[in-house]
Structure formats: C-alpha cells, structure tokens
Structure 1
Amino acid sequence: MRWVKWILPAILAVNGAVMILVPAWWYPRVPGVIETGAFNDHFVRDIGAAFLACALAMGWALKDPVRGLGAAAASATFLCLHAVIHLIMPFCGTSVPWPLLARDFPGVFLPAILSVLIVRSCRRRAAKVEA
C-alpha cells in the first residue's frame, strides 16, 4: 500500500504538465476555471509550473524524507494557501458558496489535506531515521 502516497504527486505532475504543455486545452476542462476570468496562456503555464514543482517536492520527500522534508513542506504550504483562497473567494460573491466549495473539494481541498498528511508521514519517517 506504499504506492498510495504516490497518487498525489502523480496527479499534481500530470496536471502541471498538461497546464504547461496544452494550457488552452486544460483551461475549459477543469470545473470552475472559466468562471475565474479570461484565459491567460502565460498565467496557466506559471501555475502549472507551481504544480509540477509541488509534485517533484512531494516525490523527493517520499523517496528521501530526511532531505526532502523541507521541499514537501513548501509544497504543502502552496497547496494549503491555494485552498485558503478557494475557501475565501466563494464567500465574497453573491452566489451561494456551498456548491462552489463542493465543486473545489476534489481538486483543491483534498490535495491540500493529503499534502499535509504526506508531510506528517515524512516527518515521522525522518525522525526514525535520525534517531
């Protein structure tokens, strides 16, 4: 079951790569993205690079929890801050926020939660190695 921890980095890597390689294809296919404003090729690629960096950081920490822990913590920080933005923004508009939060749960909130769990797991593994 160790492979389960690799699902998040794999999804982040695929999403980031698609955002970088085919941003115009990615943009209308992710629920809620088109409601955020006009398509901006450069911006989508920038965010794709952030997701790809998160994937690499998480993968490094899963492979080497002692040396990769800081990178995974930075990755989790980005994913959690991204989730906070998605948590706050629905309450700033005129629409009912709950459907928006439910829509964003699998692609925004769940990755943030899983990233924190991966960091905690890597911290425990690193502590065992250093003990």
Structure 2
Amino acid sequence: MRWAKWILPALLALNGVVMMLAPTWWYPRVPGVIETGALNTHFVRDIGAAFIACALAMGWAVRDPVRGLGAAVAAAAFLTLHATIHLITPFCGPKPWPLLARDFPAVFLPAIISLLVVWSCVRRQKVKA
C-alpha cells in the first residue's frame, strides 16, 4: 500500500499538466467549470501551474516528510483556500448541497488529504526531535 501515498501528487500533476497543455479540452469536461464564466486559457494555465507546484510539494513531503513540511504547508494552503472558495460560493445560490457534493471528490478531498499530509509531516518532525 506504499503506492497509495503517491495518488494525491499524481492526480494534482495530471490535472495541472492537462490544464497547461490542453485548457480548451479541460475546460468543458470538469463539472461546474463552464458555469464560472467564459474560458480564459491563460487563467486556466496559471491555475494548472499552481496544481503542478502543489504536486511537486506534496511529492516532496511524501518522499521526505521532514524536509518537505514547508512545501506541504504551501500546497495545502492553496488547496484549502481553493476549497474554501468552493465551500462559500454555493451558498450564494438556491441549492448549495448538489454543488458541494459535485465538488467533493476533486476539490474538498484533495484539500483534506493535503492537510493530513501536513499533519503527518509535523508528527515526523516531533519524532525526529
């Protein structure tokens, strides 16, 4: 089961690479994205770069929890802030629960897992001390 810890970095990297290389293909295929406004390929690529940076940070933290803690915190901050936007926005409309359920696997779950990675790194720091 050692491979399971690499799922988050791999999925973040895959999403980021597709966003950067094929933003017009990515945009209509992710549920809810087209409801946010018109496609801006530059913006999609910018966010793709952030996802790749998060993938690298989480990969570093998984490989070396002690040295990768700072990188994991930065990645978890982006993913958690992104999830917070997705948490707040649905409540501006009439039916928030379906939107929250739709966003859970791709937005909220990565943020939760990233926070668990940070927690694991912190625990490793305490063990080393």
1:19 equivalent in structure 2: 19
Residues in 2 aligned to 1:113 and 1:61: alpha-carbon distance in whole angstroms: 15
State the superposition RMSD in angstroms: 0.9
Aligned length: 129
Give, in whole Å, the separation in 1 of the partners of 2:4 and 2:60.
Answer: 15
Measured in 1, the distance between the counterparts of 2:66 and 2:102 equals 35
Q: Does 1:115 align with 2:77?
A: no
Q: Deviations over 1:25-47 (max 9, x none)?
A: 00000000000000000000000
Query: Residue 7 of structure 2 corresponds to which residue in structure 1?
Result: 7
Q: Could you tell me the percent identity over the aligned residues?
A: 77
SS at match of 2:31: coil
Amino acid at match of 1:125: R
In structure 2, the partner of 1:103 is 102
Task: For residue 120 of structure 1, report the CA deviation from its aligned partner.
Answer: 0.9
| 1: CA distance, partners of 2:52 / 2:73 | 15
Equivalent-residue separation in structure 2 for 1:4 and 1:123 (angstroms): 20
- The one-letter code matched in structure 1 to 2:102 is R
Separation in 2, partners of 1:59, 1:124: 17
Shift of 1:2: 2.0
Tell me the residue number matched to 2:77.
77
Cα offset, 1:124, TM superposition: 1.6
Query: C-alpha separation between the residues in 2 aligned to 1:79 and 1:72?
Result: 10
With 116-125 and 101-110 compared, the bigger mean Cα shift is at 116-125
Q: Which residue number corresponds to residue 28 of structure 1?
A: 28
Report the Cα offset of residue 121 of structure 1: 1.2
* 2: CA distance, partners of 1:5 / 1:121: 11
Matching of residues 22-101 of structure 1 within 5 Å = 22-93=22-93, 95-101=94-100
Q: Tell me the TM-score normalised to structure 2 length.
A: 0.96
Indicate the SS of the match to 1:67.
coil
Amino acid at match of 2:97: W
Query: For residues 16 and 127 of structure 1, what CA distance do their matches in structure 2 show?
Result: 32
CA deviation vs aligned residue, 1:45-87 (integer Å, no higher than 9, x gap): 0000000000000001111112110010110011000000000
- If the length of structure 1 is used for normalisation, what is the TM-score? 0.95
